Amino acid sequence: MLAAPAIAANPATVARELERIGASTEHVAAQVAPKVVQILTQSVKVAGAGDEQPNGVLISERGRGSGFFVSSDGYVLTNAHVVASATHIRINTQDGAEFTATIAGVDTDNDLALLQTEARKVAFFDLTLDAAPRQGQLVLAYGSPMGLAQSASLGLISALDRQLSPDDSRAYLQTDASMKPRQFGRAPGRSRGQSARR
């Protein structure tokens, strides 16, 4: 509301400011892309109701998700549900490289999994740095929604230190950056009111 008069008065200034913001997000996306990977999984389950095969038959399942390098020697952080029950895990990078991954550790309470790959000297996110997030700060969500690798969406931090219940000791960052489900065939993801664990 307060910005409306300025927009009407000087559209050229607004256009330049939008171009500046766009250039900044493009730069961030280019820096992030090599650190983010697509995760492809294979698993086996017993067929049940709703499956094409008869009940009790072992069938193969494929899954997709996202993760990111957290060290230069190829460790990848992802969600535990992405690799749950996986018998084979493959990592694809932005430049087309492909690696087999093994599970190095799982924290199911926080839905986190650490994967080990043979990748070396890779760009990575240094999780030891203090990001100091702020309410209203612009953020990029980057990953492989519905199996589509290297996708970015823009939003802002809606709130800090959210708790899903008063007894939950974990704090969340709430963002409106669009995050889609990890596989085709799932219900579309909500773009508002989503939370990311911190």
Judged by DSSP in three states, 187 sits in coil
Residues 99, 90 contacting (CB under 8 angstroms) = yes
Judged by DSSP in three states, 57 sits in coil
DSSP strand E in the chain: where?
36-46, 58-69, 75-78, 86-92, 98-107, 112-116, 138-143, 151-162, 172-175, 194-197
Domains of the chain in start order, with CATH, are 33-116 (2.40.10.10), 138-197 (2.40.10.10)
Per-residue pLDDT, 196: 43
Nearest one of 75, 71, 73, 68 to 104, comparing CA atoms = 75
The per-residue pLDDT of the chain, averaged, comes to 82
pTM beyond 0.85: no
Query: What is the DSSP code string of 18-44?
Result: HHHHHHHHHHHHHHHGGGEEEEEEEEE
- Each residue's pLDDT tens digit, 42-90: 988 777 776 777 776 777 788 899 999 999 999 999 999 999 989 999 9
Phi, psi of 102 (to 5 degrees): -125, 155
Cα–Cα distance for residue pair 64/41, rounded to 1 Å: 6
Judged by DSSP in three states, 11 sits in helix
Residues 174, 152 contacting (CB under 8 angstroms) = no
In this prediction, residue 173 has a pLDDT band, given cuts at 50, 70 and 90, of confident
Residues 145, 177 contacting (CB under 8 angstroms) = no
- Each residue's pLDDT tens digit, 4-38: 555 556 788 888 888 998 899 899 889 999 999 99
- Greater confidence (128 vs 98) lies with 98
CB neighbourhood size of 189 (10 A) = 13
- Greater confidence (151 vs 118) lies with 118
